Structure 1
Amino acid sequence: MRTLPHRLVRLLLLLSVLALGAGVLAACGSGSESPQGSAPSGEGGAFPVTVQHKYGSTTVPAAPQRVVSLGYTDQDALLALGVVPVAIREFTGEQPSATWPWARDKLGGAQPQVIPLAGPTTESLAALQPDLIVGISAGLTQAQYDDYSRIAPVIASPTGFADYGVPWQDATKLTGQAVGRTAEADKLVSDLEARIAQTRQQNPQLEGKTIASVLPSTDAGGGFFVYGPQDLRSRFFASLGLKGVPALDQVAGDKFYGQFSAEQLGQLNQANILALIPSSPSQVAPFTAQPGWQNLNAVKAGKAQTFQGETAAALTFSSVLSLPSVLDTVPKQLAGAAG
């Protein structure tokens, strides 16, 4: 298999539960030609609002009525705040309206258009007639931000985080500011943080244990990736009391993953727990059959867990809507592995 370009490798890592198909690169107009989104009227006197992000500031002059969810996971915070986008970007799983079950009821029966995984053209984005473009998890470049800002106000990711590594708390609050729902966003964050804290208390076996979250490489040869502290999955595990392995985190650096060859499989022995999160079920058998996997300390001790399907997608999103869907299952599985 040929070596993938670096940016595509990063995207495939982000889409850790993605199965690429023909429909991914084609917009799926599942609604009417001019879909109507819904948005809250905003808090009294909330608008105009000015939102700070890594490319400066964006002013939203009035309560937005046609919001485009341009980031890979931005729809969840919008939907949690009562905003139904007119279009949502495809991310993983090719779900109806690019919306997973944990968020689907928030659509209220609406069918937003689906923006292809590769992203919109400027023309197709303009055709949606947005009055707000939310690109917090879009990995926008300065050029893209400038281009899209000619169409409508654009919210990019905040400063201080790697692309695709904005914590769900910051993403929710930033979205709340942009749509005039600051108080609602704050409550969503505080409520979920309280649930996570309670879950942490209920699973004390996790406290201080080290974990390596592993994605098999899409290239042949048994290589793999380990998500670093900037990754959303790692952030969630940390909120449960788990820690990354310093040597593995050092390889990730300021990216959200570190890349390893098959010959480096033994480095996973530094982790108390292994979380295998493949991009498709077909990757599991070849990866775990390679020499050395069964001899890893965590595997021999029954401390390796595999997360697939909707669970893997929820961990990948790590959003204000997806995390509640796994709080009753994933921590218990990890606690059982921790012993």
Structure 2
Amino acid sequence: MENYLNENFGEVKPKNSSEEALQRWRKLCSIVKNRKRRFRFTANLSKRFEARAIKRSNQEKFRIAVLVSQAALQFIHGITYTVPEEVKAAGFQICADELGSIVEGHNVKKLKVHGGVEGIAEKLSTSITSGISTSEDLLNQRKEIYGINKFTESQVRGFWVFVWEALQDTTLMILAVCAFVSLIVGITTEGWPKGAHDGLGIVASIFLVVFVTATSDYKQSLQFKDLDREKKKITMQVIRNGYRQKISMYDLLPGDIVHLAVGDQVPADGLFVSGFSMLIDESSLSGESEPVNVNAENPFLLSGTKVRDGSCKMLVTT
């Protein structure tokens, strides 16, 4: 009935009586003959009350669901992060594990929780403009808490390892069997020492080949080790005590402000501070050939990647 009135008498404004007034009016008309038929085209107040109750119930459920999800997100993204005592005692407000989870996980929400790049810099006791202090005590303290920017190098394999590898050659194994058979047959037929000459000659040849091969491989491994060490001697432009200076990438510490330009290798994990047109080649990590645009919205820089275009200042985190 309400739809019919709206379609045919839309210009007539309803009185908009309250539901309580309509209910009182119907109670007063309870003596009307065939009351059910009389009010069949009027609004069904019981259904209205039921619909309103369902609506209120759904709104309350939705509100509770939103509150629960917000609480879960706060827990997941580490809003309840507590600083370890040793970190706090050293004058810092964030630990290495938390920094790693932010940068390696590209966790923007957790970064915002800590106050963004400026907040991270403050918790690392550094300045975006002047960098960290060069005081020896403070640098050592920073090294103790966060470590150094260097992986533990694998030990150089010893000479006898290469000797053992040379002995695994199939040809030499066959020659060794032949030498053994020659010794047995020669000594049996001609006696000692005349019958052992051929077998001992083969054995001497085997040892000569093994030691020459092992010596060559060992020297080559040492040369590759030195070459790799020289290749990794990369110097970076950093700001310390407000002055720009060059230091080895192995001397970088969390809190350092590093300048990056086209062709540079990102020396450590860090956060974009300022710059322009930064394109990072992450193919060495992800295998993707498409460069990644790094800016204030996506400030994460990973160690080992290369700057394809642009320049920036980076805050070292791990």
- TM-score norm. by structure 1 comes to 0.21
- Higher Rg: 2
Compare the two structures and name the one with the higher helix fraction.
2
Higher relative contact order (CA 8 A, sep 6+): 1
- TM-score norm. by structure 2 comes to 0.22
